[in-house]
Amino acid sequence: MTSQLFDELVEDAPPSTVDLDGIIRRERRRRTSLRISAALAVLTAGSLGIGIAVVPGIAVVPGIAVVPGASAPPAVPPVPEGFRLVADSRESIDATARRLRTAVDAAVREAAPGTRWLRQDLFGNPAPDGQPPLFQGAQDAQQVFWGGQGAELGGRRGWITLQIGSYAPCTRATPKCAEERKQPERLAEARERLYRCEESEFIPRCSVTAGAGGRRIKASTTYSPRSQDRLEVVVAELADGRDLTVAAGNQFGDAHVQKAAVLSLEQVTAVTTLIAAQIIP
């Protein structure tokens, strides 16, 4: 399962491309990543006890609790020819990461004109100001991808992240994966929870709608008064059987710049829909 793959991913991830000038800079990145991760992970208490592991800066969210009531996803324009998510070699990972980078940049510009990318180190390989996020992938049967970057729009600052994962059984030769393969029904139930709206005082909006081919899209807003984290999170089923999560937050660096996330829920939904439409089996 993706959450357990991420649990072990740090050991196998490619070397960081960040120029680490010292412990202070590294520690600031760690604090920012943990705050973003915690904001996403705090709402997963009812996730059947399946472990939630974190790649620096983002959490796997098997079941965000949500409240029904959000509007349907906005209409989006036609998208370019599709591409496949392939991670069976370092070359294919790099090629797919480049396609994702182009797709994300184009989708954000289409759905939220005027958005400017800002350098924010969420995953150890930040792009410079003005450039879209760099993406990473794992050479594993599940072939997951992730990436993120700071952003600014209309005076608001925050971050935008993307994660592509799978609830297919883990194939690694580890005790965790072996146990997971014995209980495939737990993975199926976990994925169902991913697209389920449940009641929570911290989440004022949620809707589950049908996208292209009847595939599900869940859009939700989460807010924590204590941490002041506000997240706009959209999860979409992909044509290849995986799940795409796009999220926007209101944190930039160590500060929550404003109450609203850098993108609205409608904008994140449009971004997600544009990207999902390009990914083919």
pLDDT of residue 177: 79
Q: Nearest 5 degrees, angle CA 195-CA 201-CA 205? A: 50
pLDDT at 278 over 80: yes
Per-domain residue ranges of the chain: 2-276
Tokens of 258: 């404003």
Q: What is the tens place of the pLDDT at every residue in 228-248? A: 999 999 999 999 999 999 999
Cβ–Cβ under 8 Å, residues 177 and 187 = no
pLDDT at 109 over 90: yes
The percent of residues in the chain predicted with pLDDT above 90, rounded, is: 53
User: For residue 93, how many other CB atoms are within 10 A of its CB?
Assistant: 21
User: Lowest-pLDDT range, 137-141, 163-167, 238-242, 265-269?
Assistant: 137-141
195 — phi, psi (to 5°)? -110, 25
Scanning the chain, the segments in alpha helix (DSSP H) are 2-12, 23-41, 90-111, 175-182, 184-194, 265-276
Q: What is the tens place of the pLDDT at every residue in 41-58? A: 443 333 323 332 333 333
pLDDT at 150 over 90: yes
Q: Which residues contact 145 (CB under 8 A, 6 or more apart)?
A: 85, 87, 96, 97, 100, 135, 136, 137, 138, 162, 163, 164
